Amino acid sequence: MNYEYAAPADLPGLGPEYKAHQCLGMLLQILFSYEGVGEQLVATGLWSPVISSNRYAALHVLKVWDTLKYMGG
């Protein structure tokens, strides 16, 4: 997935052509436990055309990481 020239869209992300996006979504769901790990994956998730899973998951990771920073975790 190369989003260098892409922009976020509102695609549902269903079907075999979205397999890479689905894998990214699964990775984003576990990254919140690993503060600072996978920053490029989070950035890719923010630019993903799959709104309902990848962008929301990337935002959740950033929210949790920010909370951990302030909690000293």
Is 22 within a domain? yes
Q: Which domain holds residue 48?
A: 16-71
Q: Determine the pLDDT at residue 53.
A: 83
**Tally of structural domains, the chain:** 1
Residue 1 lies in a domain: no
Look up the pTM and report it.
0.75
Does residue 46 belong to any structural domain of this protein? Answer: yes
Residue 10 lies in a domain: no
Please report the pLDDT score of residue 26 as a whole number.
93
Give the model confidence (pLDDT) of 30-66 as tens digits. 999 999 899 999 999 998 887 778 899 999 999 999 8
The pLDDT tens digits of the residues spanning 13-34 come to 778 888 888 899 999 999 999 9
**57 within a domain of the structure (yes/no):** yes
Note the residue count of the chain. Answer: 73
- Find the angle CA(24)-CA(28)-CA(31) to the nearest 5 degrees: 135
5 pLDDT higher than 50: no
In a domain, 7, yes or no: no
Residue 11 lies in a domain: no
**Rounded to 5°, angle at Cα 66 from 4 and 30:** 65
